[in-house]
């Protein structure tokens, strides 16, 4: 199974850094994954639902460690790329505003 698309929606919250949607083989999508700031750095959380006992149950998750690593690596690369793109857009917008002042 190959990842064919990753969409990252950055969030401006203390721990929640982004929502992520991943498409596999152009035919199956998993939405509402989260990039979260954990105690030891960024972690990828699978979409989940709160159960009656207040615990959280994953709706979808990797079965093998190999696939989990593949998924996490690619999502984190896409997250970093989106952060860089946002920084570039901010700099360009700031430059445009400064140029208009002149």
Range of the structural domain that residue 75 is part of = 3-101
Chain center to CA of 62: 16
- Tens of pLDDT along the chain (102 residues)? 999 999 999 998 999 999 999 999 999 999 999 999 999 999 999 999 999 999 989 999 999 999 999 999 999 999 999 999 998 888 777 766 666 666
Q: What is the pLDDT of residue 102?
A: 61
Q: What is the pLDDT of residue 98?
A: 63
Tokens at 9, concatenated = 């929606």
Q: What is the pLDDT of residue 22?
A: 98
Sequence-separated (6 or more) residues with CB below 8 Å from residue 23: 3, 4, 5, 6, 29
Tokens at 28, concatenated = 């199956």
Number of domains, the chain: 1
Are 42 and 52 in contact by the 8 Å Cβ rule? The answer is: no
Are 6 and 19 in contact by the 8 Å Cβ rule? The answer is: no
Q: How many CA atoms lie within 13 A of 97 on its CB side?
A: 6
Q: What pTM does this model have?
A: 0.84
Domain with residue 20: its CATH number is 3.30.1120.40
């Amino acid at each position: 199974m190959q990842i064919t698309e990753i969409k990252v929606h950055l969030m401006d919250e203390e721990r929640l850094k982004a929502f992520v949607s991943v498409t596999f083989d152009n035919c199956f999508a998993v939405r509402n994954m989260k990039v979260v700031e954990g105690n030891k750095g960024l972690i990828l959380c699978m979409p989940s639902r709160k159960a009656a006992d207040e615990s959280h149950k994953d709706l979808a998750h990797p079965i093998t460690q190999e696939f989990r690593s593949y998924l996490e690596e690619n999502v984190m690369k896409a997250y970093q790329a989106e952060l860089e793109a946002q920084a570039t857009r901010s700099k360009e917008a700031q430059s445009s505003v400064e140029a208009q002042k002149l």
